[in-house]
Amino acid sequence: MRLAENVKGLSKLASIILMVIFFLLGAVLSYIWTMGFYASSEFQLPSKTNVSIENVQFFAQNATFFNVTVLNPSYSPSDAMIERIKVATPDSKVQSISSTLPELPLPLAPGRSQTIKSFWNWGNHTGQSVDVYVLVTDGSGPAVEVRTLFMNLTVTNVIFEPSVTVSHFNVTVASMGSPTSFDISGIFVDEAEVIDVTPTLPHTLISNASRTLTVNRDWTDLQGKTVSLAVQTAQGFVAYRSVTVPQVKLNISNIVFFNITDSFYFNATIQNSAESAAKVDINKITVLVEGQNITIVVPALPQTLEPDSTVQLACTWDWSPFRSKNATITVETIQGFKASTEATVPSTP
C-alpha cells in the first residue's frame, strides 16, 4: 500500500517537471520565432561585404595627403577589395586619389582595419567640409563627411611703388588663426617662380603673425596687367591673390636737331602720360647710333615729371659725325622706367 502511494507521488512530480520543461521550451521557441519574424534587417548578417570608414585624419604640417582608416567588420562574409578612394569638394568637383600607401586595389580580411595614406593636396580646401568615399569591389562602399583643418595662409597686401622703383615690390603674408607655423618656400608671378626674395627663402611664418617679403623682380613687363601671385609653403599650402599692376607711360616726341655756330644739340620733349600712376625723375638720356651708346649730359638732372605733364630738354651732342644715320634716343628715370624713340640725324647743318 505504501509502495503504491510512493509510485503515485513520483509520477505526479515527474509530470510537473515535464510540464515545466515543455513550458520553458515552448516559450524559448516562441521567442525565437517572434524575434525572427519582427527583427529588422539591420540585425541580419549581410550577404555582401560592407566596409566602414573608422577615421579620416588631416595633418597641419603637411597638406599633400590625408589618412583614411577602413574597417571590414568581423561579420563580413568575405574579404573586401578596396578599389579606389575619392573626395568631393564644396565646389562640386570629385577628385579621384591616384596615389596611395599601400597601393590600391587592396584586399582587407574580415575583422581587419587598414589605414591608407592618400596623396591629395587639400591646401586649397582648408576649413571646408569634404566627402570621402571608399569604393570596394562587389560590395557597399562607405562615405563620410569631414572638415579639413583651418589653415589660414593669406596674402593680405601687395604693394607696387612706381614713384620709388620698378625693380621690386612687396608682398605681405599672414597666418592669423592657423594652428601651426608655415615655412614659406616660394613666390610665383603668373606661375613663374621669383628666385630673389628678401628675406631669403625658405622663411618661417609663425602662427598668428604676418610678414612682408620684398620680391626683387623688375615689373616693367607687368605694367597695366592683372597678374596672379602665389605664395607657396614647404607644407604644401598655397595662398593666391590677383592684383592689377600700376603703370608709368613715358613718351618721347619732337626730336629736333640744331647746329648754331658749330654748337650741336637736339631738343627732346618727354611726356608722362595721364594714365601713369606716379611721378618720375628723369636722370639720364642716351643715344645709340652705329653701335655706339653715347651718354648725353643735360643740365638740371634729375628732372621731376608729374603724370599728365611734359618737359623739353636741350641735349648737348655733337652729331656731325653721324649725319643721315638712324639714332635711338632713350630716356631713363631714377625709378627704373625707360622710354625710347628713333630719329634720323640731319644730313646738313
Same domain, 266 and 225: no
Percent of the chain with pLDDT over 70: 86
In a domain, 136, yes or no: yes
In a domain, 168, yes or no: yes
Q: Is 182 left (phi over 0), alpha (psi -120 to 50) or beta?
A: beta
Q: Which of 201, 227, 244 is the last residue of a domain?
A: 244
**C-alpha triplet 20, 23, 26: angle, nearest 5°:** 150
Cα–Cα distance, 148 to 145 (Å, whole number): 10
In a domain, 17, yes or no: no
Q: Which of 147, 169, 203 is the last residue of a domain?
A: 147
The mean per-residue pLDDT over the stretch 145-173 comes to 96
Contacts for 252 with CB less than 8 Å, ≥ 6 apart: 268, 269, 270, 271, 329, 331, 339, 340, 341
In a domain, 20, yes or no: no
Q: Is 152 helix (H, G, I), strand (E, B) or coil?
A: coil
Same domain, 63 and 109: yes
The mean per-residue pLDDT over the stretch 151-165 comes to 96
Residue 155 gets which letter from DSSP? E
Same domain, 232 and 162: yes
In a domain, 169, yes or no: yes
Range of the domain at 233: 154-244
Q: Which of 244, 268, 287 is the last residue of a domain?
A: 244
In a domain, 42, yes or no: no
Higher-confidence position of 173 and 18: 173
The mean per-residue pLDDT over the stretch 108-131 comes to 95
Write down the pLDDT at residue 228: 97
Number of structural domains, the chain?
A: 3
Same domain, 143 and 233: no
Same domain, 261 and 339: yes
Which of the four pLDDT bands, split at 50, 70 and 90, describes residue 26?
low
| Residue 64 pLDDT exceeds 70 | yes
Same domain, 82 and 159: no
- Taking alpha carbons only, the member of 173, 125, 129 closest to residue 151 is 125
C-alpha R_g of the chain: 41
Same domain, 137 and 182: no
DSSP track, 226-254: EEEEEEEETTS-EEEEEEEPP---EEEEE
Q: Is 196 helix (H, G, I), strand (E, B) or coil?
A: coil
| Residue 3 pLDDT exceeds 50 | no
Same domain, 221 and 293: no
What's the CATH code of the domain at 179? Answer: 2.60.40.10
Cα–Cα distance, 245 to 247 (Å, whole number): 7
> What are 300-335's pLDDT values in tens digits?
899 999 999 999 999 999 999 999 999 999 999 999
